[in-house]
Amino acid sequence: MNATHPILALIAYVLAIVTAALLLRAVPKIARHLQHSGESRYASIDGLRGYLAFGVFVHHSVITWIFLRTGVIAFPPSNFYSMLGQGSVALFFMITGFLFWNRVLTQGRQHDWLAFGVSRVFRLYPLYLPLMLTVFVTVFYLQDWQLKEPGIELFKQILAWLTFDRPDINQYPQTGMLISNVTWTLAYEVFFYLALPLAATVFIFRGNWRQVVLCLIGIYALYQLVGWEHSLKKHFLASFLGGIAAAYWVRRPQLVAWSRKPLAGVIAIAALAIAFTAFDRAFKTAPLVLLSLFFVIVASGNPLFGALKPRSIRWLGEISYSTYLLHGFVLWLLVQRLPLVLHLDARDEWVYLPLVAVCTCLLILISSLTFLYIEQPGMNAGRKVTQWLRQRHKGNKPLAEKVAR
């Protein structure tokens, strides 16, 4: 069977779901976490995350297969496998746009921007920093620990990686391929976070014309600043609009009631199927409209006939950031490096496919561990830092008032 046959994606998903289900049975801490987290208000979105993150892994496994066979890094030849990556990323952007725009709509001017800013830093970096360190150590290991760049250049490379750019490290070609270049999406996430208070002032808080002008200038300046290294593309940013539209959609009871009907579930699945089969790129008007239609129905709470409800799927959603961020390195290690050590030819389908199967199970296991012992403690630390900053602010307030007098 060809390694790009669609049935293999289904097999990979089954493997991932079974692995997650076994972990739920074997590790009480995971079961307790899901029990304590309870049913989220947006449980369907929590389930969707798991499918999306793993879909990007499957997408990159096919790209890796093509690279091993041809030496060329290219999109998969089939629309399905191409969209499994691009469409999943577009939907991830919609989730971000929905959750945070919806929160600002709900809280209005009472929105806690301090907690928001701190939480974002402690959400992205606790896992990213160990991955970045792993990449740097791997590069120097592959180069026999030889420093091939001046110290100042290496320092610049470190700074660039800290801002989610991926320049080659120490002259190692295509360093970003060690992690399948996944960090490009984080630059878009960061831009959205930074622009959110400015966009909220313009479109939600409705400031005076001076504030609106200054905020629009600020958004443009951020676009240029964040895009200095990352070259932010407007058609990628447009996918956030699907999430913002969903934030308004779920505020209309009639639309939510319709979206939860079985017919809406059929329409959502049909829209997703058309997007994933009729198009080879997600970031164009027609596929984005189809994906947005799918997303607003899911955001309204439609479980898609139970596909988004199982505990194993919810756990895949919990570990989706780890799955997304780590899968490239796990794939590189098992599919590109391990065969060299074992003297196997990964271009042989019957070598490659079992390796990807092992990679699938190992990825879910590693992601579960990094979520429990890196991501979750990082998020808890973020909350503690927020409390500390608030207490410090309260402690300094009387002194500030005395100075003002």
Residue at 342 is within a domain: yes
Which residue in 11, 22, 101, 93 sits closest to 52, CA to CA? 93
Residue at 322 is within a domain: yes
Residue at 285 is within a domain: yes
Which residue in 10, 69, 86 sits closest to 348, CA to CA? 69
Residue at 352 is within a domain: yes
Residue at 122 is within a domain: yes
Residue 396 binned pLDDT confidence (cut-offs 50, 70, 90): low
Outline where 112-183 has alpha helix (H).
Answer: 113-142, 151-162
pLDDT by residue (tens digit) across 100-141? 999 999 999 899 999 999 999 999 999 999 999 999 999 999
Res 385 pLDDT > 80: yes
Res 215 pLDDT > 90: yes
Q: Which pLDDT score, from 0 to 100, does residue 400 have?
A: 45
Q: Which amino acid is at 228?
A: W
Residue at 1 is within a domain: no
Q: Which pLDDT score, from 0 to 100, does residue 316 have?
A: 96
In whole angstroms, give the CA distance from residue 279 to residue 84. 11
Res 382 pLDDT > 90: yes
- pTM check: above 0.85: yes
pLDDT by residue (tens digit) across 69-105? 998 888 888 999 999 999 999 999 999 999 999 999 9
What does the mean pLDDT of the chain come to?
92
**pLDDT, average across residues 282-296:** 96
In whole angstroms, give the CA distance from residue 86 to residue 55. 9
Interacting residues of 252 by C-beta distance below 8 A, sequence separation 6+:
none
Q: Domain total for the chain?
A: 1
In whole angstroms, give the CA distance from residue 184 to residue 164. 7
Which residue in 237, 193, 230, 197 sits closest to 214, CA to CA? 197
Q: Which amino acid is at 364?
A: I
Residue at 275 is within a domain: yes
Q: Which pLDDT score, from 0 to 100, does residue 404 have?
A: 44
**pLDDT, average across residues 301-329:** 95
Q: What is the enclosing helix (H) or strand (E) of 294?
A: helix 285-299
Domain extent, residue 268, equals 6-404
Q: For helices 113-142 and 320-331, what crossing angle results, to 10°? A: 10
Res 38 pLDDT > 80: no
Q: Which pLDDT score, from 0 to 100, does residue 391 have?
A: 87
Residue 230 binned pLDDT confidence (cut-offs 50, 70, 90): low
Res 298 pLDDT > 50: yes
* Site of tokens 């199970």: 361
Give CA torsion, residues 380, 385, 388, 390, to 10 deg. Answer: -100
